Structure 1
Amino acid sequence: MDHIKNIGKEVMFAVLPMTAVIFLLQFTVIWLPAEIFLQFITGLVMVGLGLFLFLVGVDIGLLPIGEMVGSSLSRLGKLGLIILCSIILGFAATVAEPDVIVLASQVDMVTGGSIPKMILIGTVALGVGLTVGLGVLRIILNIPITYLLLAGYALVFVLSLFAPIEFVPVALDSGGVTTGPMTVPFIMSLGMGIASVLGGKTASTDGFGLVALASIGPVLSALLLGVFYS
């Protein structure tokens, strides 16, 4: 019960600053029509309630299951199966990410359908899946994450030179939208679950870094999509 109260406080502190600013502007500068202001208040209540329910769902569902899946996979002791399952889970979590769907819809609309929504979603999800698999391999083989990050961003800069200019901002936005409320909790808990089972690994150190790698994958895959389209 106390934990649910803490989530309620987190939601309140997350929504309160923007609410205070809008209220201040409403009664000092902008003076929006009453109908629009009431719509804002209604939307604010719905956002707060939805955010509260989402965070409760993440806490009681996504985080435990992600950690349990990671620990269960590690106990199998089969490297290939662990990597394959990690790729599939990263792909599936990204396809369900609302931010990715919004980005793909906007790109589809702006480009007049030349970059179809489902192709971009699949490309971004594949990039995340592959880099999640790479991150899990890093945990198992104890590869320093610095090397992987440097190599990943070096590839981003190289591919940016060959991809069409309009693909570069789309690719960079793809890296941002994948660090959303669906993908991040699951990927982080997956890494912590894997690290907690493997000998010599600690969930507090080795389990982190998956999100950093996962944010590079969609940038690379979107740039490669641009090179293909060109």
Structure 2
Amino acid sequence: MDNIKQTTMEVVYSVLPITIVITILQFTLIKLPLETFFQFLIGVAMVGVGLILFLLGVNVGLLPVGEMIGSALSKTKKIWLIVFFGFLLGTVVTLAEPDVRVLSQQVDQVSGGAIPKSTLILAVALGVGVFVGLAMLRIIFNFPMAWLLGISYGTIFILAAFTPATFVPISFDSGGVTTGPLTTPFVMALGVGVASVLRGKSASRDGFGLVALASVGPILCVMILGVIYG
């Protein structure tokens, strides 16, 4: 019950400010048709209920399972298995990420179907999967995070010079949407689980930074997609 109450209050505190602002604007500046405003209020209520159920599912199911999977993989002592399932889990959890699907729909509308939704979603998911696998290697071999991020973003800026201008903002937005409410907790839980079992690893030090790396993958993949389509 405490978990339900806490999650409900978090959602209310998140949704209430935007509701208040839109309501104030409605009666002062924008004055939308009443039908549209009522649709907004109904949408807010539906979003609130959906977020509560979604976050409860994440806290009850995804976080414990992600951490347990990471721990179980580490106990096998097989590096290829840890990296492979890091890649696989990173890919499939991104395919289920709501933010990625919202972005793909917006890009499909703006581009007039020039960039297919399925292609963009797959590119983003593969990018996350590859870099989650790389993050597993970082935890195992203790690569410096600063070096990995420096090389990754250096590659991004070089590749941006060869990417069509329309794909550059899309690629960076693709990196942002992977830090959504589904991918972030699962990937972090996976990293903490892996780091907590490996000898000499600290869950608080080595289990974090995965999301930073995971957000690089989609940027690179979508830029490569831009070079191909461009």
Confirm whether residue 116 of structure 1 aligns to residue 83 of structure 2. no
Q: Helix, strand or coil for the counterpart of 2:208? A: coil
Q: Helix, strand or coil for the counterpart of 1:15? A: helix
Partner of 2:137: 137
Structure 1 residues 67-106: aligned runs within 5 Å: 67-106=67-106
Moved more, 111-120 or 24-33: 24-33
Figure out how many residues of one structure are paired with residues of the other and give that number.
230
| Structure 2: 5+ residue stretches without partners | none
Q: Distance in 2 between matches of 1:120 and 1:28?
A: 40
| Letter aligned with residue 126 of structure 1 | L
Please give the per-residue CA displacement for 1:34-72, whole angstroms capped at 9, x wherever unaligned. 322222221111111111111111100111111111111
Query: Offset at 1:134?
Result: 0.4
For residues 54 and 223 of structure 1, do their structure 2 counterparts lie closer, same or farther at Cα, with a shift above 3 Å needed?
Answer: same
For residues 68 and 119 of structure 1, do their structure 2 counterparts lie closer, same or farther at Cα, with a shift above 3 Å needed?
Answer: same
Partner of 2:189: 189
Partner of 1:174: 174
Q: Distance in 1 between matches of 2:113 and 2:25?
A: 39
Q: Distance in 1 between matches of 2:151 and 2:49?
A: 42
Partner of 1:29: 29
Q: Helix, strand or coil for the counterpart of 1:201? A: coil
For residues 27 and 218 of structure 1, do their structure 2 counterparts lie closer, same or farther at Cα, with a shift above 3 Å needed?
Answer: same
Please give the per-residue CA displacement for 1:88-135, whole angstroms capped at 9, x wherever unaligned. 000101111111122222223333333222111111111110000001
For residues 109 and 22 of structure 1, do their structure 2 counterparts lie closer, same or farther at Cα, with a shift above 3 Å needed?
Answer: closer
Partner of 2:63: 63
Q: Distance in 2 between matches of 1:42 and 1:124?
A: 32
Partner of 2:161: 161
Please give the per-residue CA displacement for 1:180-214, whole angstroms capped at 9, x wherever unaligned. 11111110110011111111112112100000000
Moved more, 28-37 or 162-171: 28-37
Query: Offset at 1:167?
Result: 1.4
| Letter aligned with residue 31 of structure 1 | K
Query: Offset at 1:27?
Result: 3.0
Q: Distance in 1 between matches of 2:119 and 2:185?
A: 25
Partner of 2:210: 210
| Letter aligned with residue 13 of structure 1 | Y
Partner of 1:126: 126
| Letter aligned with residue 36 of structure 1 | T
Q: Distance in 2 between matches of 1:158 and 1:8?
A: 44
| Structure 1: 5+ residue stretches without partners | none
Q: Distance in 2 between matches of 1:218 and 1:23?
A: 36
Q: Distance in 2 between matches of 1:111 and 1:22?
A: 29
Q: Distance in 2 between matches of 1:173 and 1:189?
A: 24
Query: Offset at 1:12?
Result: 1.1
Confirm whether residue 10 of structure 1 aligns to residue 13 of structure 2. no
